[in-house]
Structure 1
Amino acid sequence: WLLRGPGRPKPTGGKAPDAADADASAADPIELLSLATQALTGSVSAAREQAKQTVSMSRMRGVGQALFIYAQEKKAFPPDLAELVRRNMITIDMLASPYDDNAPRSLAEIGEKCGYIYRAGLTPKSDPREIVLAERSVRNGGAAFLFVDGHVEFIAEPRASELIGLIQAGVESVRP
């Protein structure tokens, strides 16, 4: 529809132009440019949010690998995520949420500024369906969760909020 207008070829096949064709050819070029810009901006924003979700899930997988390396020696996951940073198994940046700038800058800030909620007390022998790490809040219609078996899964609303609430409440068993 953007290619039609005064001086542009008419559709072939003997078909009369419909109302949409007439509207597009009569539309103000500034309006058309505005509509195209809005559509492009929406696409870029959606792509940016998708990229942040991918980064978050990748960080969670990295934390999951560190949990298993720690557990090889200790037979359990660590008491907190700061222990993984102290042992240089992950960087503190891996605990930052890609969705905001409120990142931990020191070991002391991990508890309050970590982008993820950790469930201490689990082991590699815990039920593989148990959630061990979750994004702190819902984004893009859901949240990512790391399971004891090491996989990361995006779970949609409303279940994502329910699971985050259970983890924050300290419920003993949290499964999707």
Structure 2
Amino acid sequence: MRYQEVEAAIQQLIDAAGEDDLHAFGLATITRLTTADLVDEADEDDLDEDAQAALATALETVATADASELRALLDRIDEGTLADGDMDSGLLIVLTALEHWTTYLEEHRRGELYELAIRSLEEVDYRVSAALDDFLAEPEMAAEYARIRQLLTA
């Protein structure tokens, strides 16, 4: 499957999924991404101390925090971001995923979960570097795509 075909298939799955499946998918995906050790490479040049503390709290509470709690933590992280266009890739994936999950909790827009699914694929690509013309050729990428499909069609 080409990358564009994977994107289109995920969009169709998101569009067809029921609200309970969407929420379960989002929760499982944000939990996976925030426990994937993606921020291990980040250093003090990316976030100040308060932003690092807010990120740690967000990572610990993402499964139980409500939208307002997560938004407050994201605001602290944003205010304490020191990186000027050169943020650690893993940290960027996590922060973007947290933003999409928080916005989904606030507004219930399906597009946020589509973006979360793409961040999840990016996390796998970050580890295995999938080819765009055969995006699911790597076993890790095929497994992530299968995970997404299963959660959205439960």
More strand by share: 1
- TM class by shorter chain equals under 0.3
> Which one scores higher on RCO, CA 8 angstroms, separation ≥ 6?
2
Where is the helix percentage greater, Structure 1 or Structure 2? Answer: 2
